[in-house]
Amino acid sequence: MSFRTTPSVDYVEDVSPGSGALPPRAWYASSDARSLSLNGSWRFRLSATAGAEDDSFAEEGYDAGNWAEVTVPGHWVLQGDGAFGSPIYTNHLYPFPVDPPYVPTENPTGDHLRVFDLPSDWPSDGGAVLRFDGVESCARVWLNGTELGEFKGSRLAHEFAVGELLKPGSNVLAVRVHQWSAGSYLEDQDQWWLPGIFRDVTLLHRPSGGAGDFFVHASYDHTAGEGTLCVDSDVDGRVTVPALDIDVATGEPVTVAVRPWTAETPKLYDGVLVTDGERVPLRIGFRTVVLEDGLIKVNGKAVLFKGVNRHEWHPEHGRALDLETMREDVLLMKRHNLNAVRTSHYPPHPAFLDLCDEYGLWVIDECDLETHGFTEQDWRDNPVDDDRWTPALLDRAARMVERDKNHPSIVFWSLGNEAGTGRGLTAMAEWIHGRDPERLVHYEGDWNCRDTDVYSRMYAFHDEVEKIGQGLDGGTRKRRELPFIQCEYAHAMGNGPGGLADYQELFEKYERLQGAFVWEWIDHGVRHAELGYAYGGDFGEELHDGNFVCDGLVFPDRTPSPGLIEFKKVVEPVRIEGDGPNGIVHVTNKQDFADLSALAFEWSCQVDGETVESGSLAVPVLAPGESAEVKLPEPPVDGRGGERQWTVRALLADDTSWAAKGHVVAWGQFAVGARPLPSFPATDRPVPDGGRITLGPAGFDARTGALLSIGGVEVGATPRLDVWRAPTDNDDGAEWQTDTRYGTLWRTLGLHRMRHRLISVEAGDDALTVHTRVAPAAREVGLDTVYRWTSDGERLRLTVSVTPQGDWTVPLPRLGVRFGLAEADRVEWFGGGPGEAYPDTGKASMVGRWQSTVDGLQTPYVRPQENGARADVRWVELGGLRIEGDPEFWFTARRWTTEQLDAARHRTDLAAGDTVWVNLDHGQHGIGSQSCGPGPLPQYFLKAEPAEFSFVFSTTR
């Protein structure tokens, strides 16, 4: 005999998508049908297991007065100050045993209860549906005590018919949400596991004669300049588009002259679908997406994606985003010259797609599917290759396509991410191709491209990308005929990504390469009282992937990181190059569709970084792909023989929906002549004076040769050779990377603990020379280093000569000197700015006169690491000193040492000391993106080679 002791929760571990929900349909907002948002405060009870509590809470009259409350949309683990459990971050490891479709008995289960009043004027005709836009990961729903069904598919909409159940006055909606379910096996995306009702819950009136599902087909014939509109609708009606004089029956095609929709020119026509009982607003964009001549073409033209992968993220609300946050993402993308988004790795809140339509971004809409954790077992038992799961996969595909099919911005449907290969994926692709032949299908995981219309890869190195561009990569015949994109590249974790410009050069050179999507948009840092932003491990997870979750182009609060500023420059829609000495500018329109009529051009001329003259520049209205040469005026004469340079900018000529008139879209800089280098005759001789040596304005320790002061400025720590930088995430590299990871080698070699052996201090006729050898314990390699100090009485020149000794097999992190100042706050410099730059991340660094505070120089990477270097610096002034470089140099200044920066795990670990540490670098090693991609290209290596460089110090006080 057997008997049950717990309520049945079999549906949780059932591979099926669920039961009771309505078939998926287009997501739209009616003009006239009523709706009631059920967002807000809900009663909430957390249980440790799926079956801990019976269903009685769903019954009418249940008293939940002593329950806690949570906000819907929201994730319970981000509410309740830890009382409701914590987030878990894993990249691809399942945080539970891989035992599909079973999940742990410990299965946090949140009962949600909401009592709502049906408005007294709620229409009595027709029906009503209850819509859930997103619940992670499995929900069971009751209305007024009657069970509606249960569902999985966290980032997909589910609707239930509730017309019969609604009552006048008070209604009780009960939702039981399980954190883990069979669906969790399909949702192994690299992100926080965050259970809850995290998108809207809405009650929608469905009037009799109301619209059902409909499919707007709006194509564009670029040869005729005409669009064809046909709205297929479950419920017959009429479609009107006043601006086009269209008034046709549903299902009836109509062809008229239109302006097409593109991401660059997102022309939308307002229309209405009118059925007997309802009016539904339409926003129609005419465009045609095809695969032709091995290229992705829209409206007859090959497009180049300058894209980013966007996860939904908010540091306090997780994946529960409000409209303003979504808009902020889109505006930031547009303002930084991006033209494409991959909705990694699930369909976003539908409002985000409305914004993409409106502002103009190409979209790869990706299905809510990833089974990455099966890679740990060589993909055995992968649900996408197991027919029992295929209904769930098809359900997910249909829920994506049906919900989102009316968005002109979507050009690709993506089957999912990192799910290996299998029959289930093929079934999805076949269904999608059949349902929507007017769009293309993407999936990265199958390099043979069995199911896809594009050859897509992630993190392919530059050399391989070039081969693919040349068509020399081989592969199946089908693949050889397909265009190529990188659905992920340039891993934006911490400082970086490096090498963006080198990729862009390839994408622009080879037709087959149709662009790429940076990984990723935003750092998923969780706002945390003590840590600032938390990442993996900060909640005590037993398995986690640390700060791999912080790899975005914007910080958790959406402040652009230097990576985004760099990307903006690298993908700018207009290239501005110049021949400075001859005063000629070459302007190229890099866009695919728009001419240059939206832009105004300005020139300015700087002398020693200060603008002395400026004016507007007449540039022809170039068509896409066209170039022109434009002559600049005569450069101003500078009597003092300063460094002269041109800056040419392209600005928005008028306000747009995404930025104001004057917003800088692109720029170029070019020198009129060479920079005059600082030089002076060494007239002074070092004068010993007790334990000190005086040389010009400077005092030295006679025994050690240490610089003590310059003029009135005390030097807390003498300039001495420094090769260490706090390794970046990209220096460290991901453990699975097969090529050399220098961050690790540097530490093994001991570059973070170099010893300085004093060999001699020699006061000569015109110089004080200090000879040392700098080397790590336990190694025979070293750097023979000579510091040579000279002066003309006013100024002090330090020349550093470095000669590597022994067999150096690794590049150096940095090469320069570090010293300490007792006091410094304001910093002014002439050189690259305003932000940081490294050898392969420096395109956006603009030469000019910049100012900051020491604190303002720091880049707030969520996990502290090397940051903040300003490149191409001619001179810098701080703490009463002026330092000129021969040649230009990098400088960094911070209130903590590199060692402290290296040891810190969070920004809150960094405390200002009483010394400002300044690094003046002759070289920096490149950054690369080895945290999940290639390291720096060889040309950005800082090789251990003989080097000599000088700095000229004087006082400003």
Residues that bind ligand IPT (CB under 6 A): 91, 190, 345, 417-418, 458, 488, 491, 519, 548, 551, 932
- What's the rounded Cα separation, in Å, for the pair 122 and 167? 10
- What's the rounded Cα separation, in Å, for the pair 503 and 515? 9
Which residue stretches of 850-897 are H helix? none
**Minimum CB distance to ligand IPT, residue 734 (Å):** 7
Strand partners, 456: 485
How many helices (DSSP H) and strands (DSSP E) are in the chain? 11, 58
In the residue annotation, 488 being an active-site residue is answered as yes
In the residue annotation, 508 being an active-site residue is answered as no
- What's the rounded Cα separation, in Å, for the pair 454 and 513? 10
Helix (H, G, I), strand (E, B) or coil at 660: coil
Q: Which is nearer to ligand IPT, 2 or 738 (CB)?
A: 738
Q: Is 887 exposed, middle or buried (0-12, 13-18, 19+ CB in 10 A)?
A: exposed
- What's the rounded Cα separation, in Å, for the pair 883 and 827? 11
Q: Are 936 and 925 in contact (CB under 8 A)?
A: yes
- What's the rounded Cα separation, in Å, for the pair 104 and 108? 10
**Minimum CB distance to ligand IPT, residue 309 (Å):** 7
Comparing every residue's Cβ against ligand IPT, the nearest one is: 190
**Minimum CB distance to ligand IPT, residue 629 (Å):** 43
- What's the rounded Cα separation, in Å, for the pair 855 and 871? 18
- What's the rounded Cα separation, in Å, for the pair 842 and 872? 10
Q: Are 315 and 526 in contact (CB under 8 A)?
A: yes
Q: Which is nearer to ligand IPT, 538 or 551 (CB)?
A: 551
Crossing angle (nearest 10°) for helices 350-359 and 323-335: 30
Q: Which of 518, 403, 517, 442 is nearest to 289 (CA)?
A: 442
Q: Which of 661, 668, 460 is nearest to 570 (CA)?
A: 668
Q: Which is nearer to ligand IPT, 314 or 491 (CB)?
A: 491
Could you say which of 187, 366, 418, 877 is catalytic? 418
Q: Which is nearer to ligand IPT, 89 or 362 (CB)?
A: 89
The string of DSSP letters for 340-367 reads EEE-TTS---HHHHHHHHHHT-EEEEE-
CA dihedral 717, 718, 720, 722 (to 10 degrees): 30
| Amino acid residing at 66 | N
**Minimum CB distance to ligand IPT, residue 27 (Å):** 25
Q: Which is nearer to ligand IPT, 237 or 445 (CB)?
A: 445
**Minimum CB distance to ligand IPT, residue 548 (Å):** 6
The string of DSSP letters for 295-323 reads EEEETTEE--EEEEE----BTTTBT---H
Q: Which is nearer to ligand IPT, 284 or 932 (CB)?
A: 932
HSE, side-chain direction, 13 A CA sphere, residue 867: 28
Q: Which is nearer to ligand IPT, 250 or 730 (CB)?
A: 730
Q: Which is nearer to ligand IPT, 466 or 488 (CB)?
A: 488
Q: Which is nearer to ligand IPT, 471 or 546 (CB)?
A: 546
Q: Which is nearer to ligand IPT, 190 or 473 (CB)?
A: 190
Measured CA to CA in angstroms, residue 35 lies from 118, 140, 323, 619, 803 at distances of: 10, 22, 18, 52, 75
Helix (H, G, I), strand (E, B) or coil at 281: strand
Tokens 């570059």 sit on residue = 751
Helix (H, G, I), strand (E, B) or coil at 918: strand
Q: Which is nearer to ligand IPT, 75 or 491 (CB)?
A: 491
Q: Are 371 and 407 in contact (CB under 8 A)?
A: no
**Minimum CB distance to ligand IPT, residue 738 (Å):** 12
Q: Is 6 exposed, middle or buried (0-12, 13-18, 19+ CB in 10 A)?
A: exposed
Could you say which of 366, 402, 488, 566 is catalytic? 488
Angle at 331 between CA 325 and CA 76, to 5 degrees: 15
Q: Which is nearer to ligand IPT, 14 or 551 (CB)?
A: 551
**Minimum CB distance to ligand IPT, residue 551 (Å):** 5
Q: Which is nearer to ligand IPT, 150 or 190 (CB)?
A: 190
**Minimum CB distance to ligand IPT, residue 931 (Å):** 8
Q: Which of 459, 383, 467, 458 is nearest to 427 (CA)?
A: 383
Q: Which of 39, 36, 29, 22 is nearest to 158 (CA)?
A: 22
- What's the rounded Cα separation, in Å, for the pair 368 and 576? 41
**Minimum CB distance to ligand IPT, residue 416 (Å):** 10
**Minimum CB distance to ligand IPT, residue 549 (Å):** 8
Helix (H, G, I), strand (E, B) or coil at 671: strand
**Minimum CB distance to ligand IPT, residue 516 (Å):** 13
Q: Which of 857, 862, 872 is nearest to 826 (CA)?
A: 857
**Minimum CB distance to ligand IPT, residue 737 (Å):** 10
Tokens of 87: 């987030």
**Minimum CB distance to ligand IPT, residue 933 (Å):** 9
- What's the rounded Cα separation, in Å, for the pair 188 and 90? 9
- What's the rounded Cα separation, in Å, for the pair 726 and 893? 14
- What's the rounded Cα separation, in Å, for the pair 504 and 546? 30
HSE, side-chain direction, 13 A CA sphere, residue 452: 28
Q: Is 121 exposed, middle or buried (0-12, 13-18, 19+ CB in 10 A)?
A: exposed
Neighbouring CB atoms inside 10 A of 525's CB total: 24
Catalytic residues: 418, 488
